[in-house]
Structure 1
């Protein structure tokens, strides 16, 4: 993460983005799916992150077959208009499928158990040859917004040349599905307990951006995916303040954390 002492004179308007904290239960405890971004990425190069990315203008397509909380509810939870709420949920589902192969879709009664059968469509989504709405319609699939929960809202500080207005969702790996690292954006992917991911960062074996570090700290306090899904979250927009203290950078949140 780059750092400058002061905000840019004309900081760019943050782009809407969605990130999904994908979880699973194991005998050793709850794990989270993480990916280390390739060093050539323009944003967060080399960082360990959750799957996610920017909203595509086609993500706001109202024709998407939908099950679960309506777009208006997501707009209330995250702040914004109904089209933005719809676009964020669609981006969350699309980006999770593109980057990890996990598909939060199915029918109103059941979730897809084998997402690998849609591998070609996944490639077309990545290349933008296909929109999420078209993919779902062509395969008679319904977006399952009920598998997602709102978790957090982070906005890139004005010191950065690339800024994102990112809403964080939490979801549990659907039964029968597998998360992979088949994306050109990550050099490695895998599951870790939140506390182990934090230990790697503290030991210098990985790098975490402030939202990722903060989220992993919260998850480390939970014992299961059910507890994560049931957590009562009051989502508020957080714009971290970065302060240089010697050779270190201190991150200050709105509550002086």
Structure 2
């Protein structure tokens, strides 16, 4: 059965890496047993784009290299919303803030009230676009997910304080990168982990980004090298 592309939701996931040059660890949490998508699995913070994400101001945009890679085989106008969604999901699911000190112009939307109350504006400058994956056909939900790697040093708040997190992820913890595969995680998370391990000590966005593209005809493993930027 073919699934209408309108049923595939764009999504954003953030992988926070800590102590990348010595003993790297990554932030993960466990999805609930009743979750429709990937129940009980250990995952990175992330989720689908909200309509309002496109209208949230950023203190700083994504790096140009990331914008270029995000524009390939996709609507280039999505890049801003993808960055915002990743920052929002990180905040909602972990209580960690990726942002800079600053005042909002006007009243922030409900999803951002507590973020703004802390005195921060979201900032996408530290985000590295490192992976893209399309959920295979036949799953109860399908996502076109972009994965962003963020150095923990760029998180503005206490890395061990998850008190502001919602209850979507339990057992939030810093997992040693070398031990991560011992956790029960989705297949695609394992694939992304391999990319994170390869890039653990890289401080600049990659020149090409893996794209695990599953459609109704075939599964392809591609590389996104960007498209010429106009302007």
TM-score grouping bracket, smaller chain normalisation: 0.7 to 0.9
Question: Secondary structure at the residue paired with 1:102?
Answer: coil
Answer whether contact 2:14 2:149 (CA < 8 A) is retained.
Answer: yes
Distance change in 2, residues 1:47/1:240 (3 Å): farther
**Equivalent residues of 2:66, 2:205 under 8 A apart:** no
Aligned-residue offset at 1:254: 2.3
Report the alpha carbon displacement of residue 11 of structure 1 after superposing the two structures with TM: 5.3
Aligned to 1:19: 13
How far off is 1:150 after superposition? 0.6
Give the TM-score taking structure 2 as reference length.
0.76
TM-score by length of 1: 0.69
What SS does the corresponding residue of 2:188 show, helix, strand or coil? helix
Distance 1:138 1:35, change over 3 A: closer
Q: 2:60 aligns with which of 59, 67, 88?
A: 67
Matched residues in 2 for 1:102 and 1:152: separation?
A: 22
Query: In structure 2, which of residues 25, 28, 34 is the aligned counterpart of residue 31 of structure 1?
Result: 25
RMSD after superposition: 3.1
* Residue ranges of structure 1 left out of the alignment (5+ in a row): 1-7, 109-124, 201-205, 242-251
Work out whether 1:166 is the aligned partner of 2:159: no
Q: Is the 8 A contact 1:78 1:235 kept in 2?
A: no
> Could you tell me whether the CA contact under 8 Å between 1:18 and 1:53 is conserved in 2?
yes
Please state how far the C-alpha of 1:90 moved relative to its aligned partner: 0.3
Gaps spanning 5+ residues in structure 2: where? 103-107, 223-231
Q: Are residue 230 (structure 1) and residue 230 (structure 2) matched?
A: no
Aligned-partner SS, 1:17: strand
Mapping 1:1-257, distance limit 5 Å: 8-10=1-3, 13-25=7-19, 29-61=23-55, 64-69=57-62, 74-79=66-71, 80-107=74-101, 130-132=110-112, 141-173=120-152, 174=155, 177-179=158-160, 180=162, 182-198=165-181, 200=182, 206-221=183-198, 224=200, 227-230=201-204, 232-240=206-214, 254=221
SS at match of 1:190: strand
CA distance in 2, matches of 1:87, 1:36: 25
Larger radius of gyration: 1
Structure 1 or 2: larger helix share? 1
